Amino acid sequence: MGALLSLIAVVVLALVPFVAVAAGDLRFLVGVVVPGIAFAVFVFGLMYRVVKWARAPVPFRIPTTCGQQKTLPWLKNEELDNPSGTLGVLGRMFLEVFFFRSLFRNTTAEVNPEKEKVTYVAEKYLWAAGMVFHWSMLIVVLRHFRFFVEPVPRWVEFLQFFDGFFQVGVPVIYATTVMMVVGLGFLLLRRAFDAQVRYISLPSDFFALFLLLGIAISGGLMRHIEKVDIVQVKAAIAGWASFQGVTPEGVGTLYFIHVFLVSALLFYFPFSKLLHMPGVFMSPTRNLANSNRTRHHVNPWNPEVKPHTYAEWEEEFHDKLVAAGFPLDKE
């Protein structure tokens, strides 16, 4: 049900620009104003959320520890799983951000009815699909710089060359376009057909996937079926950058659908689970070293606790301790 609702929502979103451009000739509104506002909401929304996180006090070190911490010199410690300093944290973050290391080690619980036992087995498909989708999307977005920057930077040409290495089709079908759709398709089917995952899925989980799929498919169709005049697209994008509002010419309805869905994504991003992108950098369970035993961390807003040594305690209760017959350190 959640999947159907989200699919309907994305189809309606795709129909809005279709109707607006075909029936109302609202090209300026759909192609310039809406994406402009969406971009502003995205930037300020993201800043607001990140600053709010950054200001949240983290008085204690709460890194997730999954291995031996640094202790006696003859005990081998796990620097990545229990970082003792900045270098370990950097290594851990790098592997998390670029290779989804914790997802790689994900397991799934299965009940074996014959043995009446719960077993935990490795689940690498989710990790593989996550990697395929995220990396492809990153490269697709980086390739889009050829629309945003003039002249096209060398590194973009380099990416395009390797992405279209197999030279299939005219224009060349980029491997990442296909991989992005396949990755998203797997993630969607997993949510829809795996009973356990479906049970814990919300409509918003499906919505994000359908929306991204809609963007990728409309982009692919635009490249291979309803082609666009790239020079005009560049002029429209330069218009955004210079606040001049240039209505894109020489582009079909698919362009407006693509840009409208991207705008929906930008509007939605700062208020959705997609915020895990900046969130991973702000997560104290990942970005802190475990120095709990080597350094004394004091919660800054606790009332000041005066130390009370044994000698002071003995002094305070001296008479009572003597009366009760306790041996004292100080006679």
Site residues, ligand HEM (CB under 6 A): 35, 137, 140-141, 143-144, 147, 174, 177, 180, 212, 215-216, 219-220, 222-223, 228, 233, 237, 258-259, 262
State the burial class of residue 232 (Cβ atoms within 10 Å of its Cβ: 0-12, 13-18, 19+).
Answer: middle
Secondary-structure percent of the chain, ordered helix, strand, coil, rounded to 5: 60, 5, 35
State the burial class of residue 104 (Cβ atoms within 10 Å of its Cβ: 0-12, 13-18, 19+).
Answer: middle
Of 238 and 280, which has the nearer Cβ to ligand HEM? 238
Of 188 and 289, which has the nearer Cβ to ligand HEM? 188
**Nearest distance in Å: CB 235, ligand HEM:** 12
**Nearest distance in Å: CB 277, ligand HEM:** 12
**Nearest distance in Å: CB 188, ligand HEM:** 15
> At 76, which amino acid appears?
K
**Nearest distance in Å: CB 46, ligand HEM:** 14
Are the beta carbons of 212 and 265 closer than 8 angstroms?
Answer: yes
Of 100 and 260, which has the nearer Cβ to ligand HEM? 260
Of 126 and 137, which has the nearer Cβ to ligand HEM? 137
**Residue whose beta carbon is closest to ligand HEM:** 219
Of 161 and 326, which has the nearer Cβ to ligand HEM? 161
**Nearest distance in Å: CB 144, ligand HEM:** 5
Query: Which tokens go with 306?
Result: 């005066």
Are the beta carbons of 175 and 164 closer than 8 angstroms?
Answer: yes
Of 128 and 182, which has the nearer Cβ to ligand HEM? 182
**Nearest distance in Å: CB 246, ligand HEM:** 12
CA distance 157 to 161: 6
CA distance 139 to 256: 22
Residue in 37, 25, 6 with CA at minimum distance from that of residue 253: 25
